């Protein structure tokens, strides 16, 4: 995947995440985080916890959103160096 393709994909996913989170649809927002994580190479993917109920979702988002964003930045840097 090229840097341009990756950026376009991540931008769409970020918009979907923001939309869901702003509407209070935290389960949907968490699903987008899972999808973002799946787009990263195996060595950058986070081992995400499964969510059992809605009360856990907000803390899940709070914990993993910054980590996934950091991994995305790392992958972008890799793509720029190729």
pLDDT (tens digit per residue) in 5-51: 999 999 999 999 999 999 999 999 999 999 999 999 999 998 877 77
**Per-residue confidence (pLDDT) for residue 42, from 0 to 100:** 92
Q: What distance in Å separates the CA atoms of residue 76 and residue 12, rounded to the nearest whole number?
A: 15
Predicted structure pTM score: 0.83
Pick from 74, 36, 30, 66: nearest CA to 49: 30
Half-sphere exposure of 53 (CA within 13 A, CB side): 1
Say if residue 68's pLDDT is above 90: yes
Half-sphere exposure of 2 (CA within 13 A, CB side): 3
**Per-residue confidence (pLDDT) for residue 20, from 0 to 100:** 96
Judged by DSSP in three states, 45 sits in coil
């Amino acid at each position: 995947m090229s840097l341009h393709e990756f950026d376009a994909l991540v931008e769409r996913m970020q918009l979907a995440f923001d939309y869901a989170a702003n509407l209070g649809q935290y389960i949907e927002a968490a699903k987008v985080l899972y999808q973002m994580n799946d787009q990263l190479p195996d060595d950058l993917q986070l081992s995400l916890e499964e969510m059992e109920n809605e009360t856990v979702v907000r803390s899940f988002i709070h914990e993993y959103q910054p980590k996934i964003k950091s991994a995305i930045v790392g992958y972008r840097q890799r793509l720029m160096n190729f």
